[in-house]
Structure 1
Amino acid sequence: MQGQISIERGLGRLPAYEQTTRGIRVRVLPAFLADQSSPEEGRFLWSYTITIENCGTETVQLIARYWQITDESGRRQEVRGPGVVGAQPVLEPGQSFEYTSGCPLPTASGAMNGRYLMKTVAGEAFDVEIPIFLLESPHERRQIH
């Protein structure tokens, strides 16, 4: 299941993106960091907060991550690594793990998606999809067709 929802934060509504794979729900809330960006220098920065919730019946551990980051010019970067923010959390049924990270781009908008490699306590490995989410800023170029 993949979708976009809105979450109220402060005075506005920010888009949140959600997808569930094999009972593991991944919710992403991106935010443009205007105070840390420098549009005149081609530096745009976003934070994203991810909540991983085990809605299934098996205890799982997050082993690794894989990201595809695409800027508005279509340039793609791939990032792989162990765990997230230095952790490889174990999630029992009903538990969740939340973290915040960041993404710089040389363009005013882009998108990210990816997957987590998870492992059950029985040793079975499987991928959990991270939904594609947009990195939007007030500086992005809008095209009218």
Structure 2
Amino acid sequence: WLTDSPRLGPARRFQIEGLIDGPGFSAASPQTAVADLRHPLLAQPVVEACLSLPTDRLTLGRDRGLARRAFADRLPPEIAARRSKGDLTAYYGRLIARSLPALRPWLLDGALCAHGLLDRRRTEQALTTEQLIWRGGYREIMVAATMESWWRTWTTRIADLRSTS
């Protein structure tokens, strides 16, 4: 969606990147096995409506401004009035750094690298404590891990369906 769209501005690209993260919120997981998760802001009509709006209308001058205004009567005042959700960069950085022993083989030996969707050499370089400290890239790593999980889950499901039919 992004590589062939040079006419998109940075805000629209960021919005689409957020949508790409969507499967991570509802894909099969231990959480979705025990809880029926609903993400009304990821419903197709809502997503389509938001994609049709100019990006400055989505923020209305602050993080999630349009959503905060739309749901103001359902939100506690301190949430409706806050400027952002905060920064979880340090949390994700520690989480990924602690997970490197499992995450490195998960991604480097996974389907995304095998099919050339991730550059193995660059991924290997990114998945070191030193690179995480100096360059970050936590969001991209989390997205890659989510997509790898999605790929593995669905290829297993498809194989199971083929074996039972």
Q: Which TM-score applies when normalising by structure 1?
A: 0.22
Higher helix share: 2
Rg larger for: 2
Q: Which TM-score applies when normalising by structure 2?
A: 0.20
